[in-house]
Chain A
Amino acid sequence: MDETFDAAIVGAGPAGISAACVLADRGVKVIVLERGEYPGSKNMFGGVLYGHHLRQIIPDFVERNCPIERNIVESRLWYLSEEGGLSFAYRDTAFFEERRNNAFTVGRAKFDRWFADQARAKGAVIVSATVVTDLLTDDAGRVTGVKTDRADGDLRAKVVLLADGVNSPLAAKAGFRPEVRPENVALVVKELIALPEEVIDERFGVSPGNGVTCEILGNVTLGMNGIAFLYTNRSSVSIGIGANLADFAMQQARPYEMLESLKTHPMIAPLIKDGKPKEYLAHWLPEGGYDTVPRLCGEGFLIAGDSAMMFNALHREGSNLAMTSGRLAAETILEAIEKNDFSSSGLQGYVKRMQDSYVLKDLRKYRKFPSFLETHKELFTSLPRATCAAAREMLTVDQVPKKARQRDAWKAIRGQVPPLRLLRLVWDAWRSVR
């Protein structure tokens, strides 16, 4: 390709397309390179997007027929043992009306395609089925463009934004980010299970168009540091489970077996009964937190979204961090174009913007959370068993006086987790998130 672009973006996901929209809006000559057959064809996440962040890029996304699956009105947190589980749930009328689309589910194959179309309409060039294999650099080591696997594959650009996701051999090859270490990612598998729309409405107790998210913790990850989830789409549910990749290797556990066993759990089986599996996918979650975020920019390049390991494990937020970092990278590129300075110092505004935004503030706040999870395996072994056993004791109604019941419940907990260890757990948990 002979043409020179102002900006080349690697990856047509939430980070890359957000950046492309902002740049194209301001008349910047921008190209997005996507390795999939179409944007979204390689992308996968749990399923939740956030309206606030999308609105900053496309204010009228609802009117523009954004392919929303369901507006989330209730969030559940489940803590499961083998036999049962505790459920905490919050539902609010605010999420039906004035805060509608605060969070909503999407399928990435549809959403990313739609999102890329919005960027295209603004003037961005989106090229699919093209893998960026390397970066072009000049003698001084400055990034001057990208190499692709197309025949006439070199493409020059004043600045390159890397937004190619958590599994980025390119970032490692270019030295922008060290190769991922197994302990810093979670491997997640997800299945899409088709169910009639009205069956989902009924099973989750929602009106048409509204939905529920369930975040799931407990024994279901076989003692590994991991999570599971069940999200409602319009006429399907997404069920997924994942664990730290280093834990997987150590445990010799097979991801799909864990998924199948989750589907038979008494809290989950009735919700997906008679559903038809439609798709099975796997992806990483960048779970390492703040300490694994690489240098955000250098000579002629910036890095955003999952490529930069931006994921808030406690709140399960990632797509919003990607959109915000993509937008802030684009604002920095606009500034660099104005100054005609694409050097590392010319792009430093990105670091400042990120530090001032919730993205790095939140990641810094929860900096110790990943290691808290990794060093407190009782959260995934004895504690769910203990809490469920205690709940079972307290809820069993017979002739035993309540005082004795409470003693039995406490005994059930103590038998699994010694009181001092429990105290330590609560203390460490608080310290890791304060």
Chain B
Amino acid sequence: MSVKVEDKLFLDRFNVDDESHLRLRDGQVCFDRCQDQPCLYICPANVYKLEKDRISVNYEGCLECGSCRVGCPHFNIEWRFPRGGYGVRHKFG
């Protein structure tokens, strides 16, 4: 089943910070050493996308679950909470 997660994220409210709270420590690791690239699958917001020569980090739609941080086999994702008041804002929870 092909599902566009963008349609789901569109339902949510975000207060997007200018600066990303997620960062790949070393983009080269993703290509040279990471076979499975689980970040491309496990992220419930599809933050990580495979581009031609890199993995892009679309932090704007991050749901702040933490899965990429602990799911990355190379601990290559620098992860912090968005600054106070920024990020996803639950309407119902």
**A150 CB–B CB distance under 8 Å:** yes
Whole-angstrom distance between the alpha carbons of A329 and B25 in the complex? Answer: 38
CB closest residue in chain B, given A173: B80
Q: How far is the CB of B50 from chain A (nearest CB, A)?
A: 13
Cα of A260 to Cα of B2 in the assembled complex, Å: 9
Among B1, B69, B92, the residue within 8 A (CB) of A236 is B92
Assess the B45–A282 pair: CB atoms within 8 A: yes
Question: Which A residues touch B5, using CB under 8 A?
Answer: 254, 256
Closest chain A residue to B81 by CB distance?
A: A131
Q: How many residues of B contact A (CB 8 A)?
A: 38
Which of A131, A245, A278 touches B84 (beta carbons < 8 Å)? A131
Q: Per a CB cutoff under 8 Å, which of B82, B85, B93 touches A44?
A: B93
Kindly provide the distance from the CB of A59 to the nearest chain B CB, expressed in whole angstroms: 24
Verify if B24 is at the interface (C-beta below 8 Å from A). no
Which residue on A lies nearest to B44, using beta carbons? A282
- Count of A-B contacts judged by CB separation below 8 Å: 143
Q: CA separation between A257 and B46, bound complex, in Å? A: 11
Q: How far is the CB of B16 from chain A (nearest CB, A)?
A: 13
Complex partner residue of A41 from B2, B36, B65, B90, CB under 8 angstroms: B90
| Residue A40 at the chain B interface, CB threshold 8 Å | yes
| A149/B84 in contact, CB under 8 A | yes
Q: Is the CB of B90 within 8 A of A44?
A: yes
Chain B min CB distance to A89 (Å): 25
Query: In whole angstroms, how far apart are the Cα atoms of A288 and B26 in the complex?
Result: 30
In the complex, the answer to whether B88 meets A129 with C-beta atoms within 8 Å is: no
B84–A187 CB distance below 8 A: no
Q: Taking the complex as formed, is B33 at the interface, i.e. its CB lies under 8 A from any CB of chain A?
A: no
B65 x A284 contact (CB < 8 A): yes
Interchain CB contact under 8 A, B81 and A35: yes
In the bound assembly, the distance between CA atoms of A48 and B32 in angstroms comes to: 45
Q: Which residue of A lies closest to B90 (CB)?
A: A109
Kindly list chain B residues whose C-beta atoms are within 8 Å of the C-beta of A255: 42, 44
Inter-subunit contact B1/A257 (CB<8 Å): yes
Check B42–A280 contact: CB distance below 8 A.
no
**A259–B79 CA distance with the chains assembled, in angstroms:** 26
Tell whether, in the assembled complex, residue A150 and residue B84 are in contact, meaning their CB atoms are under 8 Å apart: yes
Question: Which residues of B (4-61) have their CB < 8 Å from a CB of A?
Answer: 5, 8-9, 11-12, 15, 36, 38, 41-42, 44-46
What's the Cα separation between A107 and B12 when bound, in Å?
15
Tell me the bound Cα distance from A245 to B91 in angstroms. 26
Which residues from chain B contact A261 at a C-beta distance below 8 Å?
Answer: 1
Q: Is residue A349 within 8 Å, beta carbon to beta carbon, of the partner chain? A: no
B37 to chain A, nearest CB (A): 9
- Minimum distance in angstroms from B72 CB to a CB of chain A: 9
* Given A236-B92, A254-B41, also A169-B15 (CB < 8 A): no
Given contacts A187-B65, A245-B67, contact A109 B83 (CB under 8 A): no
Given contacts A109-B91, A109-B93, A130-B84, contact A169 B8 (CB under 8 A): no
B residues within 8 A CB of A254?
A: 3, 5, 41-42, 46
A181 to chain B: closest residue by CB: B70
Interface centre among B9, B90, B93 (most CB of A within 10 A): B93
Q: Once the chains are docked, how many angstroms separate the CA of A41 from the CA of B67? A: 19
Q: CB-CB < 8 A to A414: which residues of B?
A: none
Q: Which residue of A lies closest to B5 (CB)?
A: A256
With most chain B CB atoms within 10 A of its CB, the pick from A41, A109, A189, A284 is: A41
Q: Is the CB of B8 within 8 A of A191?
A: yes
A40, A189, A256, A284: which has the most chain B beta carbons within 10 Å?
Answer: A256
Roughly how many angstroms separate A253 CA and B15 CA in the complex, as a whole number? 28
Within 8 A of B (CB), among A21-38: 35-37
A-B contact sample (11 more), CB < 8 A, given A252-B41, A253-B41: A35-B85, A37-B15, A37-B89, A42-B87, A42-B90, A129-B84, A182-B71, A187-B44, A233-B92, A256-B44, A280-B8
A residues contacting B by CB (< 8 A) are 35-37, 40-45, 107-112, 128-131, 133, 148-150, 167, 169, 179-182, 185, 187, 189, 191-192, 233, 236, 245, 248-249, 252-257, 259-261, 277-284
A/B interface sample: 14 pairs, CB < 8 A: A35-B81, A37-B89, A42-B90, A111-B93, A128-B85, A179-B70, A248-B71, A252-B41, A256-B8, A256-B44, A257-B3, A279-B90, A281-B93, A283-B63
List B residues at the A interface (Cβ < 8 Å).
1-3, 5, 8-9, 11-12, 15, 36, 38, 41-42, 44-46, 63-67, 69-71, 79-85, 87-93
